[in-house]
Amino acid sequence: MSGRPPILFPLFAELVGLDGVGPKTAQHLAQIDITRPRDLLFTLPQSGVDRRRVVSVRGLDLPQVATVEVQVGEHREATRRGGPWRVTVEDAQTVFQLVFFHARAEHLHRLLPTGQRRIVSGRVEMFDGVAQMVHPDHILRPEEGGEIPPFEPVYPLTAGVTLRVMTRAVRSALARMPALAEWCDPQLVAREGWPGWAEALAQAHAPQGLRDLSPEAPARQRLAYDELFAHQVTLALARRIERRGKGRVSEATGRLQGRVLAALPFRPTGAQERAIREIAADMAGEKRMSRLLQGDVGSGKTLVAVMALLVAVEAGGQGVMMAPTEILARQHLESIRPLAESAGVVLEILTGRDKGLERRAKLAALARGDIHVLVGTHAVFQKDVVFHDLRLAVIDEQHRFGVAQRMELGAKGAAADVLVMTATPIPRSLALAQYGDMDLSLLDEKPPGREPVRTALVSGERLDEVVGHLRGAIGEGRQAYWVCPLVSESEVVDLAAAEERFGHLRAALGEGRVGLVHGRMLPTEKDAAMARFIAGETAVLVATTVIEVGVNVPNASIMVIERADNFGLAQLHQLRGRVGRGSAASTCLLMYQAPLGETARRRLELLRETEDGFRIAEEDLAMRGAGNLIGTAQSGLPKFRIADIEHQAALMRIARQDARRLLEENPALEGPRGEAVRVLLWLMEQDRAIRLISVG
C-alpha cells in the first residue's frame, strides 16, 4: 500500500478552486482546520434555520427568521455616512423595511430594483414600531427561490468566512465525492438502517429539521461510526503487531513471589490477586502480552507490577519499569526495594542523569544479566541499553503517552510483554478509544483501612483563615501541598501568581518552611525541592499542577487547591489522591472564586461526596464532554471530527468488535472489503495504520 489511492485525490486536493474559494478564503478556513475538500465534508452543520416560505411577516412572533416574497418599493438613502439605508418592501399583507449599513448604492439598486419582486429571508424584528429586516441573509429572484432550502444548515464559521461562502464550498466539495465501496459490515448497515457513505454525507449536509442534526440521526451515526471504525482498525492492527508472532513464554515458579508475599505486612486485595493472575496467565502464554492495569491512586498498582516483574525473573529473564519522570522513577525504586530485597532480586536504576563510567558499568551488568529488574525513565529505552533477556516492560502513569509511543516502545522490547499502568480512571468509552488495542486489568477495590479524605469547599475570600489553620497544622508536624492553578492563557502570568503565593506563604509560615515547584524549573531544581519536602525539611510545598501524579509523601495530609473551579474533576481527584496515604486523617480544601455557578458547585460537591475515581470520571465526562476531560494533546486521546464519544459511546463498542473481527478474518485486508477498509483508513488519515499494514 504505497500511496493514497487515486480515487481519493479530489478530496485531498487544495481548497482553492472550489466554488467561491480563493486563496484568502482558504487561509481563513485553515484557521478552523479545514485545508482540503475532505475536511469540508467532515465539517457537519451544527444547527439549522427554518426558512420555510411564509405569505407575510404580519402576525409573526417577532423577532424571528422569515422567508417571504415581496414587491420592492422605494430606496431611502442613508442621510449620513454609516447611517441606515432603508428599502421599503411589501409582502402579501403588510409593508416593512429592509435595512443596510455601509452598503454601496449601486449594489443595492442592482440587488433590489424598485418595482420588481424578490424573495428575501432574514431575521425580522420591530424597531420604532416598524417591522424591519437588517441585512437579509438571502435576496433572490422569485424563480431562484428554490435555492433556499426549507431548513438551512448552519456551519461552524470563522472570521472572513460567511455562511454563504461556507455552504457553497461544502456543496462544491460534495460534488467531488467519489463513489467508494462499502467498508462497513453489510449486516451492521442493514441492521442499523444506515445509508451508504456518500448518501450519509449528502443527508448530513442537507438536514430537513432539527432531528437530522442530533447524534442519533442515522446519517450522523453512520459517519461517526466510519470515524470510530477507522480508529479501531488502527488499534486492532497495533494490537496484532504488538502480539505478533511469538512472545516469550514466561512461566512463574512462585519461588520469588512467595518470598515477597510472606514478607508483606498485609494481604493483597482480591482485585490485586485477580490482576496478578491475569498477568501471569498472559506472560505464560505464547502471545505477547499487551495489558493495561488501571487502578485509582492508592489502589496498590506497585505490588501488582512487582509480582509481574518477578514472573520475568523467575522465568530466568529480566524486567524493566519505566516512569515518566526522574522523581517517580526514584520513588518506584524506593518502594520496590524492600520487596526486591526480600526476594533476593537485584534492582538498579537508570535515568538521564547516569553518565560516564557509572553508566557504562550499569549497562554492562544489565547486558550480562546481573541486574534483574531495572527501574528508570525514558533513558531505559535508549539505543545502547541492551538487556540480557528482557521479558517484561512495565510502563507507569502511561496516560501521557499515545498509541504511537506505545508501539514504538513495543518495537524496542522485541518480544517482551508489556504492562501499562494508569491511575487515570477514565470512563469505559474513552478507555476503548485510548487503549482499545490492549487487554484490561482493573483494580476496583482499595486496600482496607484507608481513612477517607475530608473534603471541604472554601471561598477564596477566606484565604487568611486557611493560612491560619495551616500554621496550626504544620505546628503539629503535618505537611501540606498548596496547588496554584493554571488559570490564564499565559504560563508566565500563572507562574508569577504561584511565586507571589509562595512569597505570601513564606512570610506567613516561615522562610524555610515553604518550598516551590513549577514546570519551568530545571529538573534538578525540581527534584531538590521535592526531596526537601519528602524529607520533611519543608512543611508546605507550593506547586503548579506539576505535582507528579504518583508522588508519595505519606506524611503530607493536607491538600489546598486554589481556584479548584478551574480544574477538571478527574484532575482534582488525582491531586487529592496525593494525600490520605499515611495514618493521619487528611484534608482537602477546594478553594473557589466566589460566586460559584450552579454547575461548578455541583461538580465540586461531587468530589466532597465520593472518592470513587470511576464515578467522578463518568460524571466529569457527562458534565464537560470528552474534549475537556483531559487535555487532549496530553491524553493521547484521538480527536474526532464527527464522532462524539460522549453521546455515541455505543458505536465505539461496536466499532471495536467489528475491527477486531475483521482483522481476525482478514488480517491482510484483502478482497473487496479489505480494499474498501484501506480506502477508509486513507480517508480518515490513519497513517499509522497504513504503515502497520505494510509491517504486518
Q: Which residues bind Mg ion (CB under 5 A)?
A: 550
Contact in structure between 479 and 496 (CB atoms under 8 Å): no
User: From the CB of 325, what's the least distance to ligand ADP, in Å?
Assistant: 14
Q: Nearer Cβ to ligand ADP, position 297 or 553?
A: 297
Total residues at interface with ligand ADP (CB under 6 A): 17
Q: Nearer Cβ to ligand ADP, position 300 or 410?
A: 300
- With residue 283 as reference, give the H or E element that holds it: helix 270-284
Which of the residues 251 through 280 are near ligand ADP (CB under 6 A)? 266-269, 272
Helical H segments across 53-129, by residue range: 105-111
Of the candidate spans 296-304, 489-497, 583-591, 682-690, the one that interacts with ligand ADP by CB under 6 A turns out to be 296-304
Q: Nearer Cβ to Mg ion, position 34 or 393?
A: 393
Q: How far apart are CA 133 and CA 65, in angstroms?
A: 9
Among positions 300, 485, 580, 638, the unique one binding ligand ADP when judged by CB under 6 A: 300
Which residue's beta carbon is nearest to the bound Mg ion? 550
CA 23 from chain center: how many Å?
A: 32
Q: Write the CB contacts of 617 (distance below 8 Å, at least 6 apart in sequence).
A: 424, 425, 426, 427, 569, 570, 573, 629
User: From the CB of 22, what's the least distance to ligand ADP, in Å?
Assistant: 56
Q: How far apart are CA 201 and CA 330, in angstroms?
A: 53
Q: How far apart are CA 412 and CA 7, in angstroms?
A: 36
Q: Nearer Cβ to ligand ADP, position 297 or 556?
A: 297
State the binding partner of 299 from Mg ion, ligand ADP, none, CB within 5 to 8 A by kind.
Answer: ligand ADP
Burial (CB < 10 A; 0-12, 13-18, 19+), residue 530, is buried
Q: Nearer Cβ to Mg ion, position 550 or 636?
A: 550
User: From the CB of 635, what's the least distance to Mg ion, in Å?
Assistant: 18
Contact in structure between 165 and 41 (CB atoms under 8 Å): no
Contact in structure between 270 and 445 (CB atoms under 8 Å): yes
Q: Nearer Cβ to ligand ADP, position 232 or 325?
A: 325
Q: Nearer Cβ to ligand ADP, position 132 or 294?
A: 294
User: From the CB of 262, what's the least distance to ligand ADP, in Å?
Assistant: 14
Rounded (5°) CA angle 27-28-32: 110
User: From the CB of 438, what's the least distance to ligand ADP, in Å?
Assistant: 18
Among positions 297, 320, 663, 681, the unique one binding ligand ADP when judged by CB under 6 A: 297
Among positions 295, 319, 425, 436, the unique one binding ligand ADP when judged by CB under 6 A: 295
Reduce the secondary structure of 535-579 to three states and give it as a string.
CCCCCEEEECCCCCCCCCCCCEEEEEECCHHHCCHHHHHHHHCCC
467: DSSP letter: H
247: contact with ligand ADP by CB under 6 A:
no
Q: Nearer Cβ to ligand ADP, position 167 or 552?
A: 552
Residue 480 to residues 505, 541, 557, 559, 561, Cα–Cα distance (Å): 12, 6, 6, 6, 11
State the binding partner of 127 from ligand ADP, Mg ion, none, CB within 5 to 8 A by kind.
Answer: none
- Per-residue interface string for the shown chain with ligand ADP, residues 447-466, x marking contact by CB under 6 A: x-------------------
Q: How far apart are CA 376 and CA 322, in angstroms?
A: 5
CA 293 from chain center: how many Å?
A: 19
State the binding partner of 290 from ligand ADP, Mg ion, none, CB within 5 to 8 A by kind.
Answer: none
Among positions 167, 302, 351, 479, the unique one binding ligand ADP when judged by CB under 6 A: 302
Among positions 121, 232, 257, 299, the unique one binding ligand ADP when judged by CB under 6 A: 299
Q: Nearer Cβ to ligand ADP, position 167 or 299?
A: 299
State the binding partner of 406 from Mg ion, ligand ADP, none, CB within 5 to 8 A by kind.
Answer: none
Q: Nearer Cβ to Mg ion, position 43 or 574?
A: 574
- With residue 362 as reference, give the H or E element that holds it: helix 356-368
User: From the CB of 5, what's the least distance to ligand ADP, in Å?
Assistant: 46
303: contact with ligand ADP by CB under 6 A:
yes
Which of the residues 396 through 455 are near ligand ADP (CB under 6 A)? 423, 447
User: From the CB of 177, what's the least distance to Mg ion, in Å?
Assistant: 50
State the binding partner of 266 from Mg ion, ligand ADP, none, CB within 5 to 8 A by kind.
Answer: ligand ADP
> Which three three-digit cell numbers place residue 501?
503565593
Q: Nearer Cβ to ligand ADP, position 302 or 648?
A: 302
Which of the residues 627 through 656 are near ligand ADP (CB under 6 A)? none
Which of the residues 521 through 580 are near ligand ADP (CB under 6 A)? 550, 552
User: From the CB of 46, what's the least distance to ligand ADP, in Å?
Assistant: 41
Burial (CB < 10 A; 0-12, 13-18, 19+), residue 475, is exposed
Closest CA to 230 of 652, 630, 626: 652
Residue for cell digits 475530608?
454
Amino acid in position 477? G
Of the candidate spans 30-38, 82-90, 299-307, 501-509, the one that interacts with ligand ADP by CB under 6 A turns out to be 299-307
State the binding partner of 268 from Mg ion, ligand ADP, none, CB within 5 to 8 A by kind.
Answer: ligand ADP
Contact in structure between 551 and 580 (CB atoms under 8 Å): no
DSSP track, 609-633: H---HHHHHHHHHHHH-HHHHTTHH
User: From the CB of 587, what's the least distance to ligand ADP, in Å?
Assistant: 19
613: contact with ligand ADP by CB under 6 A:
no
**Is the backbone peptide bond immediately before 63 cis, with ω within 30 degrees of 0?**
yes
Residue 79 to residues 75, 82, 84, 131, 485, Cα–Cα distance (Å): 12, 9, 8, 20, 54
Q: Nearer Cβ to ligand ADP, position 37 or 298?
A: 298
With H, G, I as helix, E, B as strand and everything else as coil, classify residue 458: strand
Q: Nearer Cβ to ligand ADP, position 112 or 393?
A: 393
Q: How far apart are CA 175 and CA 225, in angstroms?
A: 23
Residues contributing to the site for ligand ADP (CB under 6 A): 266-269, 272, 295, 297-303, 423, 447, 550, 552
